[in-house]
């Protein structure tokens, strides 16, 4: 899924079964940069956001719903969008 339609769907509450690869593209479209792995977690940073976003894909390669909600809180707080 492209970043903008994914952004729209997660803002409407559709946070289950989101492909981690699609979510990663959304993060990058919002200005996050992949910094590398930290163990089994993946670290993303944004120049405007003080704390890194640390994510861990589920075994089926989906994104954890709580991590999507955390990202949405950060995006709203800092005015980020794709």
| pLDDT score recorded for residue 33 | 96
pTM for the whole structure: 0.92
Residue 55: how many CA atoms within 13 Å on its side-chain side? 28
For the chain, which domains are there?
3-78 (3.30.920)
pLDDT digits (tens, 9 = 90+) for 22-79: 999 999 999 999 999 988 899 999 999 999 999 998 898 999 999 999 999 999 999 9
DSSP H helices, the chain, are: 3-11, 20-29, 65-78
| pLDDT score recorded for residue 1 | 83
- 6: Cβ contacts below 8 Å, ≥ 6 apart: 18, 22, 23, 25, 26
- DSSP type of residue 16: S
- 39: Cβ contacts below 8 Å, ≥ 6 apart: none
Would the pLDDT of 10 be above 90? yes
**In angstroms, rounded to a whole number, what is the distance separating the alpha carbons of residues 1 and 4?**
8
């Amino acid at each position: 899924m492209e970043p903008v339609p994914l952004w729209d769907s997660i803002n409407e509450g559709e946070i289950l079964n989101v492909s981690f690869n699609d979510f990663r593209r959304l993060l990058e479209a919002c200005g996050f940069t992949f910094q590398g792995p930290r163990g089994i977690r993946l670290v993303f940073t944004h120049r405007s956001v003080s704390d890194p976003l640390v994510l861990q894909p589920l075994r089926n390669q989906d994104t954890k719903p709580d991590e999507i909600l955390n990202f949405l809180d950060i995006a709203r707080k800092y005015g980020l969008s794709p």
